[in-house]
Structure 1
Amino acid sequence: MPAERVLPSTEAEDLLSLVREIARDELAPKAAEAEEQGLFPRDAFRLLGRSGLLGLPYPEEIGGGGLPYEVYLQVLEELAAAWLTVAEGLSVHVMSCYPLARYGADEQRDRWLGDMLGGELLGAYALSEPHAGSDPASMTTRATRDGADYVVNGTKAWITHAGVADFYTLMARTSDDGGNGISCLLVDGGTEGVSAAPRERTMGLTGSTVAQLRFQGARVAAERRVAQEGAGLKIALSALDSGRLGIAACAVGLAQAALDESVRYAKQRKQFGKSIIDFQGVEFLLADMAAGVESARATYLEAARRRDRGLPFRRQAAIAKLVATDTAMKVTTDAVQVLGGAGYTRDFPVERYMREAKVLQIFEGTNQIQRLVIGRELRR
C-alpha cells in the first residue's frame, strides 16, 4: 500500500478513503477480465462521475470539486493501482476539460463546462496526428471558416476514448502560419462527419479505446472555438503540462501495485525451506523497487504543489513524468522477475502491469520529449 500521506484537509482524507473503497470493491475485481476481453469500462466512468471525481481539480464555481491538484493526483494514483485504464481515462478527461476551464469565455463555461465536469459526459483530447505526434505544430487537420461554422477535415491519431467520448477537445489548423495557425475547438461527440477508425491493437491498456479520429466535412459552430484563432498550440502545451502530472501519478499507482504483488508473492513463495523474501537477492530487489516508487511519488507531489501555489511547473512536470514512468517500467519488469515463471503467466497481474507500463513512457510526450522540455527550461 502507498505510504501514509499528509493531506491538506479532512475533506481530502475522506475523499481518498472513498476512492480506495471504489478502487477495492468496484474496479480491482473487474480489471483483469475486462483487459483480457478488451472491454471498455464505460460504467466505471459513470460511477466516478456520480461520485464527483470527474472534475476534482477545477473550481467549485464552474462545476468542479475545488480540490488542489495534489489531491486529485493522489486520487489518480489510487485508481491506477486498481485499474490503469480507468485512471488514465480520468486523466484524459480532466485534460480535455482544461482548455475550456482555463481559456474559455465566461459564457462558454456557463454553457458547456458544467456538463463536462458534472459526471455523465466523457471527454477526449485530439491533438496528435499520424505524422504529427511529437511535433504538433506540423499538424494538417484543418478547420476552414464557413459563415458561422468551421468545416473540419483531417485525421487525428492515438486518441484515447475515440468513438466513445461525448466531446472532443480538438486542435486544428485554421491558417498556414505554422504553430501560430492552430486553434482549439470543442466538438460534440455526435457531430455528423466525426467518426472513429477501428481500435488500435495495443500491447497494454486493452480495455481503453485508442483509435484514429476522422473528420470529414464536420461542421463545428464558431462559438465553440476556445480563445482566439491561433491560440491552440499555446493552449495544447499548457494542457500537456498538467496532463503529464496525471500520467506521472498513474505510473506511480501502477508501480505501487506491482510492488505490492511482488512483496505478497515473495512472502508466500518457499524455496530451500524459507520464503524467497528472506533471500538477500530478492530483498534488495524489492528494496530498490520501493525506493523508486517512493521517490517518484515525491517528485510528482512536489510538482503538483508548485502548480497549486501558482508557480511555474513545466520543468517539474516533465521531470515527474520522466521519472515516474521510467520507474514504472523498471518496477513492473522487476516484479515479473520476482515472480519468476509465475510472473510470465497471465495467472498473475504483473505481466499485465509490465505491458501497461510501456505506454506511459510514450504518451503525453515521449520521455525523449520530456528531456527536451527539461533541457529547454534549463536554458531559459
Structure 2
Amino acid sequence: MTHNPPFRADVVGSFLRPAALKEARAAHAEGRIGDEALREVEDGAIAELVAKEADAGLRLATDGEFRRSWWHFDFFSGLGGVDIVELDHGIQFQGVQTKPRGVEISGPIRFDDAHPFLGHFGALKEQLARTTGATPKFTIPSPTVVDFRLEPGHINSAVYGGRDDIVDDLVAAYRDALHAFYDAGARYVQFDDTAWAYLCSEVELQKARERGIDTDRIAERYAALLNRVLADKPDDLVVTTHVCRGNFRSTWISSGGYEPVAEQLLGVVDYDGYFLEYDSDRAGGFEPLRFLPEGDKTVVLGLITTKSGELENIEATKKRIDEASAFAPLEQLALSPQCGFASTEEGNLLTEAEQWAKVREVVAIADAVWR
C-alpha cells in the first residue's frame, strides 16, 4: 500500500453531519447559541469523526467539512472581494434545486491569513497530532468554479472590466492560499471542481454560454489557469482534484464521459492526483484514462457511490479496477467513494451506518487489490 497521498483507499472529504451538530448549527443561525458554543460542538463532532476514520482503516482524515454549510460558498465568502449573495434561483439538480445563492465579485480578489479555513485546518492538524496520527487532508473549491458559476452582472465594473480581468487576481489568491496552508502544516490539499464535469455535458455548456462564458477552448483556458496556481507549489505538497458531477441530497447534474477534457485535465494540468467519479454509466468508460502520463500521478477511481446506502459487489468492483488498468497502470490507480457523503450540510440520503460500511468496503477492496 502507498504511504503517500493520495492513498490506495481514500475519501473525497465530506461526511454526514451528526444530529447534535445539525441542531447546534441551527441554534447558532437563530442566535440561540454563540460562536464559542458552536465551536465546542464542532470540535467534539470532529474528534469523533477522525476516530471513526481511523477505525475504518483510513490513513488520512478530513474534518468532514463539519464547519461548513456548502462545499464551496464557505471558502469563497472568506476571500477578499468575494461575496455570497441571494439570487432568484438556485442550482438545478435532477428534481431538486439548492438554496438561491451565488458568487459576486465586489472588490479585488485576495486571500489573507484572516481566512477562517486556516483555523479549521489548524484544528484538524492538532486533533490528529493528539490522537490517530493520520495525514490531514483538507478540501477547498477549485478556482475554476468561481469562473464557471459567475452569473451575468455579478462583477463590480468599477474593479474589473469583465470576466477575463479577474483571472490574475484569482490565480494570485489561490497561490497565496496554497502557501498559507503549507505554512500551517498542510501537505495534502484537494481542489473540488464541478467545472470539468460540466465541460463534458453539452447541456451544461449551453447553460454556461447563456451565463456569458466563451466555451471555445475552455478546457485549455482552465488548464492554463490551474497550472499558474500550481506553478510554484512546494514539492512535498500534494494537490489533487475531485471532479464532481453534482452532489446534493443524492441527486446529480451532469452526464457525459471524460473524453472531451481528459487530454487537458490528465495530461496537462499539474495535479498530483485525480478523484474521478465512476459510480454510474453517466461517467462513460475508462478509455479517457489513457491520457494519464506514466509517472507519479494517480487516478482515484470513484467506484463506490455515496448517493445510496446499498453496498457495491466487491468482486464486481475489483473487476472494474482491472478494466481501468487496461488504460492506466494499476500502480497509478486507487479507490474511493465517488463523492463526499454531504457536499452540503443537508447530506445525502443514506444513514451514518451505511456511510461507514461504504468506507470500510473501500479499504477492504484496496487492501485486496494493492496488498
Which one scores higher on RCO, CA 8 angstroms, separation ≥ 6? Answer: 2
TM-score (norm 1): 0.27
TM-score (norm 2): 0.28
Pair member with larger Rg: 1
Higher helix fraction: Structure 1 or Structure 2? 1
